[in-house]
A and B are shown apart, each in its own frame.
Chain A
Amino acid sequence: DTEVTQTPKHLVMGMTNKKSLKCEQHMGHRAMYWYKQKAKKPPELMFVYSYEKLSINESVPSRFSPECPNSSLLNLHLHALQPEDSALYLCASSQGWGENSPLHFGNGTRLTVT
């Protein structure tokens, strides 16, 4: 089992809904990430948190709002999404940065926007 836990596993939401994705890790990792993965494509970086502060935002639309309440938790708040936002959303964590801190991915939340 992965050490990065994501909930829910599946989510279906309408374009007017507000929902949140949750991610939890208890490895003491200092960096946490959100990635988006479309079918048959590689993960695309969305956000990086370093010591609970947002350090990278890859020009993600404001309808995606990340939050890091503490060092173990990472949320992604969703509002007014579009059907093209349907994808697998992956959370990851790492001890630090660079080659000595490999990413540990969760199994993702499969999001469908109707």
Chain B
Amino acid sequence: QQQVKQSPQSLIVQKGGIPIINCAYENTAFDYFPWYQQFPGKGPALLIAIRPDVSEKKEGRFTISFNKSAKQFSLHIMDSQPGDSATYFCAALKGSGSRLTFGEGTQLTVNP
């Protein structure tokens, strides 16, 4: 059972565009939602994270929007650059647990 659904599977934008990646979750016990960025040949790295009591969080060009009632959250990348080309995974965590539930991933390509 997929507990975190992520879309789209792949996304191509031009430099300067604003790619948006969406995730939806089912389990209301999740209370922490990180995003990971993974470049080819590298391990995932934490990009930004949010708690459900916050509707938006910005770190540099990356913004998470969170809709608790809809059980949805999304990642926006402002002024996207070719260096942002990577696979992005949303994830969810319950309390003080150690089991991250990942979405299926989105492969982002930013063309010059």
Name A's B-contacting residues (CB within 8 A).
2, 4, 31, 33, 40-43, 45, 48, 50, 55-56, 90, 92, 94, 96-99, 102-108
A42 & B104 in contact (Cβ 8 Å cutoff): yes
Query: Is B102 at the interface (CB under 8 A from chain A)?
Result: yes
Q: Which residues of A contact B42 (CB under 8 A)?
A: 2, 107-108
B45 & A42 in contact (Cβ 8 Å cutoff): no
Given known A-B contacts A99-B51, A107-B41, A42 and B46 have beta carbons under 8 A apart: no
A43 & B102 in contact (Cβ 8 Å cutoff): yes
1/0 contact string of B1-44 vs chain A (CB within 8 Å): 00000000000000000000000000000011010000001111
Stretch at the interface among B59-67, B76-84, B88-96: B88-96
B62 nearest CB across to chain A (Å):
15
Interface size on B, residues (CB 8 A): 25
The residue on B at minimum CB distance from A102 is B46
A40 & B105 in contact (Cβ 8 Å cutoff): yes
A42 & B102 in contact (Cβ 8 Å cutoff): yes
Instruction: Give A41 to B46 CA distance when docked, in angstroms.
Output: 17
Given known A-B contacts A43-B102, A94-B98, A98-B95, A108 and B107 have beta carbons under 8 A apart: no
Q: A43 contacts which of B44, B95, B97 (Cβ < 8 Å)? A: B44
Q: Which residues of A contact B98 (CB under 8 A)?
A: 31, 33, 48, 50, 55-56, 94, 97
Instruction: Give A69 to B70 CA distance when docked, in angstroms.
Output: 45
The residue on B at minimum CB distance from A110 is B41
Instruction: Give A103 to B31 CA distance when docked, in angstroms.
Output: 16
